[in-house]
Amino acid sequence: MSKTVAIYPGTFDPVTNGHVHIVKRSLKLFDKVIIAVANDNYKSTIFSTAERVELMEKCFEDEPNVEVDIFSGLIADYSVEKNAHALIRGLRAISDFEYEMQMAAMNRTLNSELETIFLMTDAKYSFISSTIIKNVACLGGEIRTLVPVVVVKALEEKYQKESKYYGE
Ligand code: COA
């Protein structure tokens, strides 16, 4: 029997506990989840693509049904390449809805075999985004309950290096 494969795309700059939770829940619905880390061209990121992939791999090193990959170009084409018929997206608040609806409709226009599956983000993570985590970490705030341990360390190193560079 063929395996069900879903793709979870994002920038993941950096991965948060909200993202990790979505992947874990997706594994109950699909045999395999491919975490597709968007290449550098989409957003300006503080972590390079290789760093974002490495952090994600560390989060799922004990999970054989998760693959972490890099993608560029259209996600609709990438899903054909990976023989996946489902895209996973997390919905945090009503404000996510309009953008997500547009993306889902466009992706299905580009690839009629591709369905977008929305999972409601757990309430305890509904207020976080990668940007807000970076803002708080940069100012020395507490983020340990919101991101994986490897990300706490990576952010500390990143911002220590930056403050040295600027002579603080
Ligand atoms: N927990 C925590 N944060 C979450 C979250 C969750 N469950 N779900 C979303 N977020 C946050 C992300 O951290 C991100 O925060 P940021 O904006 O501060 O970085 C924000 O919500 C938006 O995330 P997301 O919607 O996943 O967007 P993205 O920018 O990370 O990724 C792509 C978007 C790359 C998947 C999308 O642009 C894409 O598919 N591009 C490929 C090109 C393409 O095919 N375009 C046509 C599509 S219509």
- Which domains does the chain show, CATH number per domain? 5-126 (3.40.50.620)
Query: Which pLDDT score is estimated for 66?
Result: 98
25, 91 Cβ separation under 8 angstroms = no
Is 116 strand, coil or helix?
Answer: strand
Is the CB of 93 within 6 Å of ligand 1?
no
Task: Note the pTM of the prediction, 2 decimals.
Answer: 0.93
pLDDT in tens, 69-113: 999 999 999 999 999 999 999 999 888 899 999 999 999 999 999
Element (H, E) at 88: strand 86-91
Considering 52, 89, 92, 134, which one is annotated as catalytic?
Answer: 92
Please state the rounded mean pLDDT for residues 151-155. 97
Residue 34 C-alpha to ligand 1 middle, in angstroms? 15
Beta bridge partners of 66: 33
Is the CB of 9 inside a 6 Å radius of any atom of ligand 1? yes
What is the separation, in whole angstroms, between the first and last Cα of the chain?
59
